[in-house]
Amino acid sequence: MTKTSKTPVTILGLGAMGRALASAFCTAGLPTTVWNRTPGTHADLIAAGATSAPSVEKAIRAGGPIITVLLDHASVQETLDPVADRMVGRQLINLTSTAPGEARELAAWAADHAIDYLDGGIMAVPSMIGTPGAAILYSGSRQVFDTHRAILELLAAAEYFGDDAGLASTYDFALLATMYAMFGGFLHGAALMRSVGVSATQFGERAAAWVTAMTQSLPHQGRVIDTADYTDPVQSIAFHKSAIDAIYRASRDAGVSSDFVAPLKNLLDRQVADGHGTLGFERTFEELS
Ligand code: NDP
């Protein structure tokens, strides 16, 4: 059964993201207990109604789900290990970014201590928390998700993927990998444009429109990859190799590093050399796994 807005929550970690989450809970009127390794950084939250705990042990006494928003896997383990025996029967929601294997490790650690574990990947920056467009992806304990869905929705749209605790972070990292490749391409393009005197600001406006239009093809590309039939391409690998080769030369001529373009060029070169030039660009996927 989904708990109501009177559920007490404990937040461990008051960096930029932890503060945003705690603030959203305070705004919604939830009894919110907060702890941070470095004390004294959250007067604003106290003013908003949060209770500050001087230690992790005291913070988790407040009852309700315990939410960790720490730097990384190691900091979660370091923070919770000393209080593990006082968390028996409790529900832990870890929103710290962890690799899938680390999330599974934490789930196993939690199971060993009879703690119900839900892992989450935050697809938002702190200023987006509590606004439309923010999403948090969850996997692990269905029971924890179902019980606390209403309060999790106060933070961001909440979606549950399954009981494998590593699933949410796999989605998280796959989406971030997509984002970083796009950001890298933008940096490369901005460097190229600077060589002809166009500012990165101007280029950013244009690139946003172009990338938005191009992303419409992603579901189609996904379907092609799933069929593994690359024989009827819109444009072939050989066509794309020719484009990337030209971008490579243009970049070299403009004195722009090939750091972002070279990996794709290598993948395309290899496929053409191996006789796959007539197949579709999506066949590149087969080189990756
Ligand atoms: P910050 O760097 O702002 O804060 C890190 C927090 O972790 C601080 O509260 C810090 O405490 C604490 N911490 C670090 N090491 C330890 C330790 N060994 N023991 C106890 N506490 C420790 O990071 P964010 O708040 O921005 O991010 C928190 C998590 O949220 C990260 O995993 C991040 O990847 C994830 N996230 C963040 C996003 C963002 O845009 N900020 C977006 C999506 C996910 P102290 O104040 O004492 O240093």
**CATH number of the domain to which 238 belongs:** 1.10.1040.10
- Separation of 12 CA from ligand 1 center, angstroms? 10
Pocket of ligand 1 from Cβ distances under 6 Å: 13-18, 36-38, 41, 69-72, 75, 78-79, 96-97, 122, 125-126
Report the DSSP pairing between strands 135-140 and 116-123. Answer: antiparallel
Asked if residue 183 is part of any domain, the answer here is no
140, 201: one domain: no
Q: What pLDDT is stored for residue 5 in this prediction?
A: 57
Asked if residue 152 lies in contact with residue 11, where contact means CB atoms within 8 angstroms, the answer is no
157, 204: one domain: no
Residue 119 makes CB contacts below 8 A (sequence gap 6+) with 93, 94, 98, 103, 106, 107, 138, 139, 140, 165, 166, 168, 169
| Ligand 1 closest atom vs CA 72 | 32
The pLDDT of 206-212, averaged and rounded, is 98
Torsion of CA 129, 130, 135, 140, to 10 degrees: 90
130, 211: one domain: no
Distance CA 34, CA 19 (A): 9
Pocket test for ligand 1, best of 23, 35, 37, 73 (most atoms within 8 A of CB): 37
Asked if residue 170 is part of any domain, the answer here is no
pLDDT more than 70, % of the chain: 98
8, 103: one domain: yes
Asked if residue 169 is part of any domain, the answer here is no
Distance CA 271, CA 238 (A): 9
**Range of 143's domain?**
3-163
pTM of the predicted model over 0.75: yes
48, 148: one domain: yes
Q: Whose alpha carbon is nearest atom 39 of ligand 1?
A: 125
Neighbours of 255 (CB within 10 A): 10
Asked if residue 177 is part of any domain, the answer here is no
Q: What pLDDT is stored for residue 40 in this prediction?
A: 85
Residue whose token pair is 């101007």:
202
pLDDT tens track for 77-117: 999 999 999 999 999 999 999 999 999 999 999 999 999 99
End position of a domain, from candidates 147, 163, 179: 163
Asked if residue 225 is part of any domain, the answer here is yes
Asked if residue 190 is part of any domain, the answer here is no
Q: What is the mean pLDDT of the chain?
A: 96
Kindly report the CATH number assigned to the domain that includes residue 148: 3.40.50.720
- Separation of 87 CA from ligand 1 center, angstroms? 22
Least confident range from 19-23, 197-201, 231-235: namely: 231-235
Is the pLDDT assigned to residue 278 strictly greater than 60?
yes
Is the pLDDT assigned to residue 280 strictly greater than 90?
yes
158, 208: one domain: no
pLDDT tens track for 136-185: 999 999 999 999 999 999 999 999 999 999 999 999 999 999 999 999 99
Q: For the chain, how many structural domains are there in total?
A: 2
In 39-150, beta strands by DSSP E: 51-52, 66-68, 91-94, 116-123, 135-140
